[in-house]
Amino acid sequence: MYEHKGRYIVDFQDIPAEREHQIEIEVEERRGNYNEVELGFDEERAFREAKRCLSCRRCLGCALCWAECKPEAIIFEMEDEYHDVEADAVIISSGVERPFDRVDSIFGLGQHLNVITDLQLARMLSETGPSKGLVIRPYDGEIPSSIAFVQSYEAASAPMHTSALCLGINEAILVRGKLAEAEIEVFAGNLEDFRQEQASALKGLERIEISDATVSKVEAVENQNLELTISRNGSETSKVFEMIVLITQPQLSNAVKQMSKDLDLSLNYASFLAEGEGSVLLTTDNETVKIAAKA
């Protein structure tokens, strides 16, 4: 490590090439004129510098962060340390993921701008989100007058199906609160048990139609509206909406899966569902390990 112009420089040995220097005109060319001396990078030098930055696998080694921070706030020589901790009990925090790569291409996610997922809508509904809580179409920024919530996964177990639908319908309720006149419809299959379990909650829905039907195709039509091919009772119909929200299937997060494996536990998605009010702790097949769940 050495000091240069008030900065402490760490001489990393694994950077594959020297830093590129900008082009400067020769001394003889500078005399008798006011021409620019430093010309910056040409395309070739810029390419080499960018390639160098991407291949060094760490910071560039200027150590400005180390020089500016309080003493020992950053220690470049620090190595990972592992500690064994004894505990009477372990609580695993629940967590789920909704991987977009499992969404079938027939729904047009990534192809049609006005097709979004439930997680993207949640971000849109947030007052701190990109649209400050305003529900708009990504294509043109207009407020949609019709929105379809569509089940985008194949048949799932009851807990997973119920959880996904509850999230989708809750978002539909939030959208209704923002768009009083919009047409909102939810399309999902295997609704019989769900309707029975959630009968009291579904009675309170305000002009949100829930259809026991599957969507087999989504196509963009005029003004980037979306035409749905809907299968219901053995027949097909079509209907156009201005925006589609895909209800995705929750999965156990990879972190929880790995932790359960490390702790030699047998977990499934149903382990994270509990009855009752407020946060609860669920038992597992290991009496010293519990799962934090919320009804």
**Each residue of 91-137: pLDDT tens digit?**
776 666 777 777 888 999 989 999 999 989 998 999 888 888 999 99
CB 173 within 8 A of CB 205: yes
Apex 280 CA angle, 294 and 153, nearest 5: 30
Domain for residue 40, yes or no?
yes
Whether residues 115 and 176 fall in one domain: yes
Q: At CB < 8 A and 24+ separation, what contacts does 13-19 make?
A: 14/56, 14/57, 15/52, 15/56, 15/60, 15/61, 16/52, 16/55, 16/56, 17/48, 17/52, 19/49, 19/52, 19/60
Which of 41-45, 175-179, 276-280 comes out lowest in average pLDDT?
Answer: 276-280
241 and 258 in a common domain:
no
Q: What is the pTM of this model?
A: 0.61
| Count of domains observed in the chain | 3
Query: 6 lies in a domain?
Result: yes
Q: What is the pLDDT of residue 239?
A: 96
Q: pLDDT at residue 261 above 90?
A: no
| Rounded mean pLDDT, 163-173 | 88
Burial of 71: CB neighbours in 10 Å, binned 0-12, 13-18, 19+:
exposed
Buried b (16+ CB within 10 A) or exposed e, 224-256: bbbebebeeeeeeeebebbbbbbbbbbbbeeeb
Specify if 81 maps to a domain.
no
The per-residue pLDDT of the chain, averaged, comes to 79
Judge if 113 and 53 occupy the same domain. Answer: no
Residue 36 is predicted with a pLDDT of 81
Q: With beta carbons less than 8 A apart as the criterion, state whether 217 and 228 touch.
A: yes
Higher pLDDT, 55 or 196: 196
Q: At 128, which CATH number?
A: 3.50.50.60
| Percent of the chain with pLDDT strictly greater than 70 | 73
Domain, as residue range, for 142: 99-249
Q: Which two tokens stand for residue 293?
A: 């769940």
> Is 204 found in the same domain as 172?
yes
Q: Are both 107 and 245 inside the same structural domain?
A: yes
Same domain assignment for residues 177 and 261: no
Same domain, 118 and 172: yes
Could you tell me if 152 and 256 lie in one domain?
A: no
